[in-house]
Structure 1
Amino acid sequence: MRLVLASASPARLSVLRGAGIEPVVRVSGVDEDAVAAALVDPKPAEVVTALAAAKAEAVLPLVSEEFPDAVVVGCDSMLLTADGSLEGKPGTVEKARDRWERMAGTSGTLLTGHAVLRLRDGEVVARGAGSEPTTVRFGRPDEADLEAYLATGEPLQVAGAFTLDGMGGWFVDGIDGDPSSVIGISLPLTRRLLAEIGVRVSDMW
């Protein structure tokens, strides 16, 4: 049985590899803005869970033929800031700078949504989904450090404009919760969701 990761994230891939699993990567190409916009008055955790499920479902047509006996895992992360806004990938230097200016010295909640699908003989026989919150305490990078960080491009393509496992880790004072969730895929939550659909993590080691 193979684990298929419906994500282009190198950080998620690295977490799984470090935990003993070599996943097959299939990128979903889901329009995240469209999925989020279709939700009616969702709670923040419902947004990331819906996005994760959409990504897992999107790769099914291809995966069901390639790997008829598999588990598909979709993930999505967003930052719930102190002012109540839900932040995804900033995409531009200007947006990333603005986010850091607002969140420096504060705490936010990194929400990571997960969805797992169990395939048997090419058909989905079980589904599970959930989310994991982790509190992140941000430092206060000075102007020179912030501009240098923005120039790397790293914060433009990650939820909340920061990373824990990259250069952004210099500007995170601490976290309360699961570090793997902040990196992009919560190992404890994924393990629990897999158990719900009848799969042991050790089956894929």
Structure 2
Amino acid sequence: MRFVLASASPARLSVLRSAGIEPLVRVSGIDEDAVAAALTDPTPSEIVTALAESKAEAVVPAVADEVPDAVIVGCDSMLSTAGEHGPEVAGKPATAEVATQRWKRMAGGTGELLTGHAVVRLRDGRVEARTRDHLSTTVRFAEPTDAELDAYIATGEPLKVAGGFTLDGFGGWFVDGVDGDPSSVLGISLPLTRELLRQVDVSVLSLWESHTTS
């Protein structure tokens, strides 16, 4: 049995490796905007969960031929903050200007980092089971000075990550804390992934064993 990560995220890969799993990485290449646009009046949690599911499903055909006995895990994250007309979700900032604007709104406040998870279980190259869920973690943001914020944006890091911040990089200096699962803020919740694997009759221990004996 192999664990297949349907994501190009270095942070997700690092979390899994630190937790004893060496996944195969197969990037889905889905059009995230198109997936989100196809949803009817979705909640933020529905968006991230649908995106996670689309990523996992997109790699099923290739993985089924390559590794017929596998679990495919897709994830997607967005930051939800309070807006003038209700919750607003933010993925990766498109430009430095957008990242700066978001940080000025977030500084000194909180946001809900939503991470959608989807698991597809393959046996003998066929889909045997599917499950999905999401997790919300509260992030408490610090108030960087203008000079600190300019320097952080200049690293390019916030342009590459959901919500425009990280815990495990330069952004960690400007996060006061999290209430909930920190691994979810990094992109993949270990507790939730363990539960979803259990739902498709896969023990995380079997993935540890396959890793340590390979």
TM-score range with shorter-chain normalisation?
A: over 0.9
Q: Is the 8 A contact 1:48 1:111 kept in 2?
A: yes
Q: Give the TM-score normalised by structure 2.
A: 0.95
* Separation in 1, partners of 2:82, 2:16: 30
The count of residues paired between Structure 1 and Structure 2 equals 205
Q: CA deviation at 1:105?
A: 0.7
Q: Which residue of 1 aligns with 2:41?
A: 41
Q: How does 1:127-166 map to 2 (within 5 A)?
A: 127-166=130-169
- Contact 1:82–1:106 (CA<8 Å) still a contact in 2? no
1:120, CA displacement in angstroms?
0.4
| 8 Å CA contact 1:82, 1:103 repeated in 2 | no
The residue identity in structure 2 corresponding to 1:140 is E
RMSD over aligned CA atoms reads 0.5
TM-score of the superposed pair, with normalisation by structure 1: 0.99
- 1:53 matched to which residue of 2? 53
Q: Output the amino acid matched with 1:95.
A: V
1:82 is displaced (CA, Å) by: 2.5
Cα shift at 1:43: 1.2
Aligned to 2:211: none
Are residues 1:186 and 2:193 paired?
A: no
Which of 112, 124, 129 is the aligned partner of 1:126?
129
Tell me the distance in 1 between the aligned counterparts of 2:6 and 2:88.
26
Structure 2 runs not aligned, ≥5 long: 209-214
1:203 counterpart residue number: 206
Instruction: Tell me which amino acid in the other structure corresponds to 1:175.
Output: V
Check if 1:168 corresponds to 2:162. no
The alignment-based identity, stated in percent, is 70
Equivalent residue runs for 1:83-94 within 5 Å: 83=83, 84-94=87-97
Q: How far off is 1:91 after superposition?
A: 2.2
Where do 5+ consecutive residues of structure 1 fail to align? none
Superposition deviation, residue 130 in structure 1:
0.2
CA drift of 1:44 comes to 1.1
Cross-structure match for 2:116: 113
User: Which residue identity is paired with 2:69?
Assistant: D
Deviations 1:68-124 (A, max 9, x none): 000000000000012221000012101101100111111000000000000001110
